[in-house]
Amino acid sequence: MVEPGLIRAAQSGDRDALITLLREIETHVYRTAYYILNNEQDAMDAAQEALIRIYTKIGSYEEKAQFKTWIQRIVTNICIDKFRRSKPTVSIDEHEMVFREKQNVEDEVMSAYAVQDIRKAIDKLPEHHRAVVVLRYLQDFSYNEIADSLDLPLNTVKSYLFRARQQLQTLLHDYQKGGVRG
């Protein structure tokens, strides 16, 4: 993800290296925040808070853990804190659909509905299950990286993923039977 030399330079006080480092990770940080919070404004706030925390805490990073798991732990913890502080709200995100020539419009619409329904199902998961699903399937983290990021035992991560998959399977029952949303 990021060159170790850049991290060391940022830790040693090189301001340009630190700014370069933050620019390299900002998209990753925002994406993670968005997947967890499912709200653009909240994700931008959480990403900004995470980048500030990384900026101020870069000196405390130890190379025992991978840099990406250290970052992920910061972002995830901020998002979970933000999620706990906020009252449940309904996200009204409007997505513009762009239809390309030579594509089946019906398939595009059904695909967009499927993505929307999967997103809604993930949102219904308990926060600890949602976090492991986001890290595993949307951020492509290994089980060990998830355990490091969330400071959980490996077996707990596996258990959370198993339960989350069961819950998603129940929530997405119509799609398993070939049904459509109505």
What are the pLDDT digits (tens) for 73-127?
899 889 888 767 764 444 444 444 444 444 555 555 555 666 777 888 888 888 8
According to the model, what pLDDT value does residue 89 have?
A: 47
23-48 average pLDDT score: 90
Chain position carrying tokens 């059904």? 110
Residues 64, 24: contact at Cβ < 8 Å?
no
Flag whether the pTM goes above 0.75.
Answer: no
DSSP notation for 49-99: HHHHHHHHHGGG--TTS-HHHHHHHHHHHHHHHHHHHSPP----------P
| 69 pLDDT higher than 50 | yes
Percent of the chain with pLDDT over 70: 77
Contact 66, 112 (CB under 8 A): no
Give me the torsion for CA of 94, 33, 123, 178, rounded to 10°: 70
Dig out the tokens for 160 from the structure. Answer: 């959370």
